[in-house]
Structure 1
């Protein structure tokens, strides 16, 4: 906590300035959007922030009382707004309370300033995205909303209740870690899914590939193969979407490694980073060969926040974790590599997280974990090529095989060297 009596005057003034700036930022947004009405605007919000900052700096113990005291006139003002402007929205009222608290947070510490700036910027962006957010909500069907709510509820209820220790009945698995990884992987797909919804419902092939790679590269490949068969003139556009979705799998795996085992990240980043870079160049060349009229959109991707697929992934991940550890004990590195290849044919995420966890626990070496992750990625890439050949056309299969073949070769070379 910053003590005004002991802290340098410049520090106190600087933190007050940050509070004032955050209040002004939110206040300007409220006034420009005309959402504040006569309730509050570009002058009132900075005063809210200063109010919270000064109370926190000089009377920290009285901060809860100060916020409660502020709530009284805000309630009166809100009642007047409802009566005279016929606007019952609570957004501006809540923004006022949040800004007051942010002002107090800026006086807590240097870290508090950083947190306040991040939250204040996020609040401003959220307030300014009123129309896009409402449009996005309108595009989400009731079934999708129900599926998302059900999964989030289960995640929040189940995760804290699971034991955070190895359970003998589950062959030494940590139930909370397994379910946490389910929530994490599903969340990655959900972020991309929301991004695809927000950007444009009529997605072009570039957005289709990127979003599809995070949500389901296999589903994207199948969709593009079917479109290429229906219209042979779209084979280049469909090949670009398939290649992009497959390439996005590599940075997705890097994100998973960074979260589960940051110490493994530098080792894995070399081959997967190279595969991403080579793939991006190859896909870029393919993109420039694609006519602008060849833009296609993928089949509507399903919401990743669904309980059934999440449970399936959790089961697959648990089995892969057990099999990989046992294979390493019985057959050494070769057992891990065989498991990685077989697992990668179905799913890269499970093997990536498994080897990251085993490397963090010291069960496998960094080299074995890195090679295993690359093998799983290569195996899954082969699946995409096979799907393009079998479900699409020969021209689509050749293009996908050429681009992804170059990508695979670059990763294999780096691992071997």
Structure 2
């Protein structure tokens, strides 16, 4: 751990100070929250960190024994806490053990000190948001928790067991890559779903559109269209939600490109960025013209962590990936564009990830891949306008078509000039 040119004593004391500070931070939180009780508080936790740091620095061979020595009195203190206070919570006990380890990690190296600071900060935040976390958990229905648990279990079991290579029996598909992209796309939707739960049903229509865009912009469009049929006066605020959800699709596609093929961002960002800008400006005008007392009750969003929709997306993604690759081989770039348009009507994510992967492999050029992604986004945007006409009122259809029409024209214009 010794750094050249630095006094070893100073370096050791510096790392010990880091551990001590982290212990004090956690201890203060435990005492202020009154969760530590008589078990441990603002003085005891820094001592845990110093203990772990000193052992790691001067008797590293005895780390296992030293940890065991700490566990014994902690167990006794925990048992006494149960007897005298009737509190069986394990949080403070685990925090004490973790603080001891953080003290040891801080002594390991400069990188270890940084890791200890990051982990210690995260632990403190996690401990301090007990009530919001419990309130959030209470908002999630039991069926949703079970669905999420099943999905996570399947991910943990299935993903590592899938072969990470192209298989002839699957026409050259890499099953682990396909499933990894399923998890990635579902995860994006799940983050937005959690945001919707945290904000609650009273969230603004703007947040409804943004969250809906990440979970399912099509579902948001259908919901808003149905509400205008029930109450035609809500066409402006419903149009704003539809446009917002549709525009969010473009940054979402950029995130997917950045993860799968960062080099493609240079070509995709200008058209999708311009479409986002135009859409945001148009949505702003729409919001400004919307009466402040116009509100709609957002539909409860379904948890994206469900197995059947995930498998359905995986099937779509696999088919799109295969069709795109063969379409390019058979028909050239025109085959890619036709596939992108048709696929975009159903799902932009599948086409975005497929073309990003094909461009990364060199199967298609970056220009063709970027154009195909924009074509898919344009097709899906047109679909939203069509749904607004078919399922909503004429006013909603006209307003959504005008705004999204500007977005589509922007994208097509940039494609035409070769950006």
TM-score, reference length from structure 2: 0.94
Instruction: Tell me how far apart the structure 2 counterparts of residues 40 and 210 of structure 1 sit (CA, whole Å).
Output: 44
In structure 2, relative to structure 1, the CA distance for the partners of 1:70 and 1:373 (3 Å cut) is same
CA 229–94 in structure 1, closer or farther in 2 if over 3 Å, else same? same
Asked whether the 8 Å contact 2:201–2:298 carries over to 1, the reply is no
Separation in 2, partners of 1:113, 1:137: 33
What corresponds to 2:190 in structure 1? 190
Which residue of the partner structure matches residue 101 of structure 2? 101
What's the CA shift string for 1:217-257, capped at 9, x where partnerless?
A: 11111111111221122111111111111111111111111
Do the aligned partners of 1:4 and 1:58 also contact (CA within 8 Å) in 2? no
Match of 1:410 in 2: 410
Provide the C-alpha distance between the structure 2 equivalents of 1:233 and 1:413, rounded to a whole number of angstroms. Answer: 34
Contact 1:204 1:297 (8 Å CA) reproduced: no
Q: How far did 1:4 drift?
A: 7.8
Aligned to 2:373: 373
Residue 239 of structure 1: aligned partner: 239
Q: Residues 165-180 of structure 1: matches in 2 within 5 Å? A: 165-180=165-180
Distance 2:381 2:180 in 1: 26
CA contact (8 A) 1:251 1:272 kept: yes
Are positions 1:399 and 2:382 aligned together?
no
Aligned equivalents of 1:155, 1:99: Cα separation in 2: 31
In structure 1, the residue corresponding to 2:41 is in which secondary structure? coil
* Residues in 2 aligned to 1:195 and 1:83: alpha-carbon distance in whole angstroms: 40
Query: Counterparts of 1:349 and 1:110 in 2: how far apart (Å)?
Result: 41
Change (3 A) 1:58 1:398: farther
Give 1:260 shift. Answer: 1.1
Deviates more, 1:327-336 or 1:313-322: 327-336
The equivalent of 1:321 in structure 2 is 321
For the residues of structure 2 that align with 1:369 and 1:264, how far apart are their CA atoms?
8
1:294 equivalenced with 2:282 (yes/no)? no
Could you tell me how far 1:65 is from its partner in structure 2? 2.5
* Shift of residue 153, structure 1, vs aligned partner: 0.8
Q: What's the CA shift for 1:110?
A: 3.3
Aligned length: 416
Aligned-partner Cα distance in 1 for 2:416–2:294: 39
> Which residue in 2 is equivalent to 1:50?
50
1:193-227 CA-partner distances (Å, limit 9, x unpaired): 11111122322211211111111111111111111
Equivalents in 1 of 2:227, 2:397: separation in Å?
13
The aligned counterpart of 1:122 is: 122
Question: Distance between the aligned counterparts of 1:286 and 1:114, measured in 2?
Answer: 47
Residues 182, 314 of structure 1: 8 Å contact kept: yes
Indicate conservation of the 8 Å contact 1:224/1:242, yes or no. Answer: yes
CA distance in 2, matches of 1:263, 1:171: 27
Q: Give me the whole-angstrom Cα distance separating, in 2, the residues matched to 1:249 and 1:111.
A: 38
User: Does residue 357 of the first structure (1) align with residue 354 of the second (2)?
Assistant: no
Residues 271-294 of structure 1 deviation map (CA, whole Å, 9 limit, x = unaligned) = 222222222222122222222221
Deviation, 1:107, is 2.6
Contiguous gaps of at least 5 residues in structure 1: none
Q: Tell me the CA shift for residue 414 of structure 1.
A: 2.6
Report if the CA contact (8 A) 1:260-1:357 is conserved: yes
How much is the aligned-residue C-alpha RMSD, in angstroms? 1.8
Name the counterpart of 2:132: 132
Per the alignment, residue 16 of structure 1 pairs with: 16
Give the conservation status (yes or no) of the 8 Å contact 1:210–1:248: yes
Contact 2:234 2:294 in 1 (8 A): yes
**After alignment, is 39-48 or 132-141 more displaced?**
39-48
Partner of 1:153: 153
CA contact (8 A) 2:2 2:11 kept: no
TM-superposed CA distance for 1:114, in Å, is: 3.1
1:280-309 Cα deviation digits (max 9, x unpaired): 222122222222221223211111011100
**2-structure distance, mates of 1:132, 1:138:** 10
Tell me the alpha carbon deviations over residues 63-90 of structure 1, each in whole angstroms, 9 at most, x when there is no partner: 2322222111111111121111111111
1:6, distance to aligned residue in structure 2 (A): 8.3
Matched, 1:228 2:228: yes
CA change 1:68–1:142 in 2 (3 A) is same
Structure 2: distance between partners of 1:131 and 1:374: 44
Is the CA contact (8 Å cut-off) linking 1:358 and 1:364 kept in structure 2?
yes
Taking a change above 3 Å as real, the CA distance of residues 327 and 33 of structure 1, as seen in their structure-2 partners, is same
Q: Look up the SS of the partner of 2:293 in the other structure.
A: helix
Q: Which moved more, 1:311-320 or 1:250-259?
A: 250-259
Sort the Cα spacing of 1:378 and 1:8 in 2 relative to 1 into closer, same or farther, 3 A.
Answer: farther
CA shift, 1:169, in A, is 0.3
Q: Alignment partner of 1:107: what SS?
A: helix
